[in-house]
Amino acid sequence: RTARFTLDPAFRVAPVSRRTFGSFVEHLGRCVYTGIFEPGHPAADADGLRTDVLELIRELGVSTVRYPGGNFVSGYRWEDGIGPVQDRPSRLDLAWHSTEPNTFGLDEFIRWTGKAGLEPMMAVNLGTRGVQEALDLLEYCNIPGGTRLSDQRVANGAKQPHGVRMWCLGNEMDGQWQIGHKNADEYGRLAAETGRAMRMIDANLELVACGSSGSSMPTFGQWEATVLDHAYDVVDYVSCHAYYEEKDGDLGGFLASAVNMENFIADVVSTADHVRAKKRAKKHINISFDEWNVWYMSRLQGELPKDEWPVAPRLLEDHYHLADAVVVGSLLITLLRNSDRVTSASLAQLVNVIAPIMTEPGGRAWRQTTFHPFAQTSQYAVGDVLRVEPVSPTYQTAEYGDVDLLQAVATHDEQTGATTVFAVNRSQDAPLALEVDTRAFGPVRLAEATTLAGDDAYARNTADDPDRVTPQPNTSAAVDGGTLRVSLPPVSWNVIRLV
């Protein structure tokens, strides 16, 4: 079986946006406490930040980080997390049936982003709160000084403004589970009013309106249209959220999850552009895909604490296998393929909670299987995204009909001349031969080819065996006479670099 496509530097989609490689830190389970922050851990620095985790985050190549939620933000009072730690209250976190100790808050988060080299992306609470609290938070963050809240920030030790540019106007407000859930008109008006007022403080903000929590939401499509009817002029992005899991042992369907993401993006783009046409607007609204991942959400009800309110319980600690990593790679390919309209994205989440990085309290930090496709794409997707149109054998899925075995995208860096192909073989039983016509680039040579694969699609990394699933050299790759030839093993994620 052979799949083919042509590479050409003229087939340019858009520049690679660094913000595609964002992630997400929510006050949820052990993402913050014993994840990124653990005073007393042997690797913790003077601020209580785990340096072993910081190192892995740098290696992962994360750009922006969304904070502090998620569902958590819709009941959060940001003021609880600033000032002297001993004066901060403990609160009930209704979203995750936990106790929030508030020993880590806004200023600690910003200090952590500085150390990790990340851009902060803040979410405001539009569940239990509204315009005024969002303005207060923005004043605290972005005004240099001379006002009550900005002076308070300075007094709390942050002389320089936090300079946060990206702001999410609430979180998943279409979801019945969301504290302060609203209908599309209610939320659209609140988002527009909040955003408009925030721009009066700082005209240079980039604002994200909540789109649907998933394309299967009953209000999907109409939600985006109504919200943007209210907020089109005020916002820059509409969000998409999508999580995937293998259901009923249907691995083939799971490996095709990107078909859903691709359709989701196309539908949101056309809805946003429909509103644009109605309004005769000049600007386009882009997509912030600010929650995406594999998540075995079907297990959630069994995980949530019932009668007790623990601090930092083990929640959503999915242990990912090889097939999960292949799906994560395939979702990254989809985000890149749509780089003309998806200009920001956040892998949800970063540490312990449905995360590429795991930690043990007081112990080790290690890479899940899903760490690898993200790290490789962040490192090697440089320059422009190139459109590729594979001609591929297909396979049958119950959910999506006939699906290509091959999924691929490429990037080309004009500065260095480097070209990288990212490819997934969705076949469960056979390698796929890939032939790529590279003649449009002139003479090229192979720099490196790696594959994440193995005999067991369900093999996992663990704290004791953290490198069981890692990219290995693919010795089948060769370039000859203007053709790259490579064999892609079954259920595999592949990166092939040409110079």
The residues assigned a catalytic role are: 172, 291
Minimum Å gap between C-beta 211 and ligand AHR is 12
N-term to C-term CA, the chain: 27
Question: Binder to ligand AHR among 7, 17, 25, 26 (CB under 6 A)?
Answer: 26
Q: Which residues of 141-154 are buried (b: 16+ CB within 10 A; e: fewer)?
A: bbbeeeeebbebbe
Count the neighbouring beta carbons within 10 Å of the beta carbon of residue 109.
23
- From the list 113, 196, 116, the residue with the least C-alpha distance to 162 is 113
* 383-402 binders of ligand AHR (CB under 6 A): none
Minimum Å gap between C-beta 177 and ligand AHR is 7
Minimum Å gap between C-beta 458 and ligand AHR is 23
Contact 108, 170 (CB under 8 A): no
Helix/strand/coil percent split, the chain, to 5: 30, 25, 45
Minimum Å gap between C-beta 291 and ligand AHR is 5
When asked if residue 179 is in the footprint of ligand AHR (CB under 6 A), the reply is no
Q: Supply 424's token pair.
A: 């997934």
**Phi and psi based region of residue 481 (left: phi greater than 0; alpha: psi -120 to 50; beta: remaining):** left
Q: Supply 47's token pair.
A: 């601020």
Question: Binder to ligand AHR among 23, 226, 346, 349 (CB under 6 A)?
Answer: 349
Minimum Å gap between C-beta 65 and ligand AHR is 13
When asked if residue 318 is in the footprint of ligand AHR (CB under 6 A), the reply is no
Calpha distance 139→108 (Å, rounded)? 17
Q: Which residues of 345-376 are buried (b: 16+ CB within 10 A; e: fewer)?
A: bbbbbbbbbbbbbbbeeeeebbbbbbbbbbbb
How many residues bind to ligand AHR according to rule CB under 6 A? 10
Minimum Å gap between C-beta 23 and ligand AHR is 11
Query: Nearer Cβ to ligand AHR, position 334 or 349?
Result: 349
* 70-99 binders of ligand AHR (CB under 6 A): 70-71
Question: Binder to ligand AHR among 172, 174, 236, 384 (CB under 6 A)?
Answer: 172
Query: Nearer Cβ to ligand AHR, position 102 or 349?
Result: 349
- From the list 157, 59, 47, 152, the residue with the least C-alpha distance to 104 is 47
Calpha distance 138→111 (Å, rounded)? 17
Residue at shortest CB range from ligand AHR:
70
Question: Binder to ligand AHR among 242, 272, 348, 479 (CB under 6 A)?
Answer: 348
Minimum Å gap between C-beta 406 and ligand AHR is 30
- What is the per-residue binding string for ligand AHR in 265-294, x denoting contact by CB under 6 A? --------------------------x---
Calpha distance 341→271 (Å, rounded)? 13
* 289-308 binders of ligand AHR (CB under 6 A): 291
Distance of CA 385 to the CA centre of its chain: 18
- State whether residue 494 is helix, strand or coil: strand
Q: Of 4-12, 50-58, 67-75, 127-135, which part binds ligand AHR (CB under 6 A)? A: 67-75
In a 13 Å sphere around the CA of 489, the CA atoms on its Cβ side amount to 22
Query: Nearer Cβ to ligand AHR, position 353 or 403?
Result: 353
When asked if residue 69 is in the footprint of ligand AHR (CB under 6 A), the reply is yes
Residue with tokens 């998540």: 295
Residue with tokens 């002139």: 442
Q: Of 63-71, 244-252, 367-375, 446-454, which part binds ligand AHR (CB under 6 A)? A: 63-71
Q: Of 64-72, 223-231, 378-386, 446-454, which part binds ligand AHR (CB under 6 A)? A: 64-72
Q: Are strands 166-169 and 119-124 parallel, antiparallel or unpaired?
A: parallel
Query: Nearer Cβ to ligand AHR, position 213 or 411?
Result: 213
Residue 423's DSSP bridge partners are 408, 494
- What is the per-residue binding string for ligand AHR in 98-137, x denoting contact by CB under 6 A? ----------------------------------------
Minimum Å gap between C-beta 467 and ligand AHR is 27
Calpha distance 27→73 (Å, rounded)? 8
Binding stretches for ligand AHR (CB under 6 A) = 26, 69-71, 171-172, 213, 291, 348-349
